[in-house]
Copies of this chain bind each other. A is one copy, B any other.
Amino acid sequence: MFKEIPDLLGPAQIAELKSIAAGAKFVDGRISNPYAKMKQNLQLHDEAAYQKSSSLITQAMFGHEDFRNYAFPVAILPPLMTRYAPNMHYGPHADAAFLQLGKIALRSDLSCTIFLNDPDAYEGGALRIQLGTRDMRFRGAPGSAILYPSNTMHEVEPVTQGERLVAITFIQSRIADSFRRELLYELNEVAALEGLRMAPENFTRMQLIQASLLRYWGDRP
């Protein structure tokens, strides 16, 4: 359901992203969705800065083993840095099923927020995800990321003080269905943790099961 990755970015990467953000233009977030009245934030609007920052984050994602193991990523939309100043928020909404940016077109299976500044630097501004009659709030440490299914209702609560700086992106997974994706992640984890203790012929049987589930549930290349 939820996957928090505490160390997606290291201090140097965070510093670089903050430096890029500091020197670049941010505009009203409705530029990318003019009809979304409940969207009140600022997003990076500088081609060079976008190219540089998104490429840095994308590389960090594909380079992070636990991220790859969990998300089975096949495509990542270039992450976009976003600011929330006081009173800004993004009301409850659903992420689109399919997204396109230039030549990258993908199905959004997982939504991802990468936290860039300290949660103590702002008040409010939690990512809130509805789970029926309950909800869950996220205000991560710098460099951490939260992954959650794109088909959940979620919002960014109003920032009441300070500034929230995050990057957001959307991931197409090899396995569209959340439950199945997490089940295979679990099986792979168990096989990795217990494999050495198993009789070799049973480990081989596990591998056949893992490959078969990936074949059943995974989109073809």
Contacts and interface: CB of A to CB of B under 8 A. Distances in A.
A85 to B, nearest CB: 23
Interface residues of A, number: 64
15 contacts: A2-B131, A3-B132, A93-B207, A97-B212, A97-B218, A105-B221, A107-B218, A151-B212, A186-B205, A186-B209, A187-B206, A190-B209, A194-B194, A194-B202, A219-B220
Stoichiometry (number of copies): 6
A94 B204 contact: yes
A190 to B, nearest CB: 5
A13 to B, nearest CB: 21
Interface of A: 1-4, 38, 75, 91-98, 100, 105-109, 131-134, 136, 150-151, 153, 172, 174, 176, 178-180, 182-183, 186-187, 189-190, 193-194, 197-202, 204-209, 211-216, 218-221
A132 B94 CA distance: 21
A97 B175 CA distance: 13
Contacts of A197: 194, 197-198
Query: Which of A186, A218, A221 has most B Cβ within 10 Å?
Result: A221
Contact of A176 (B134, B150, B174, B215): B215
B221 A208 contact: no
Given A2-B134, A91-B204, 4 more contacts: A93-B207, A98-B174, A100-B221, A194-B199
Nearest to A72: B98
Nearest to A182: B132
A220 B176 contact: yes
A133 B218 contact: no
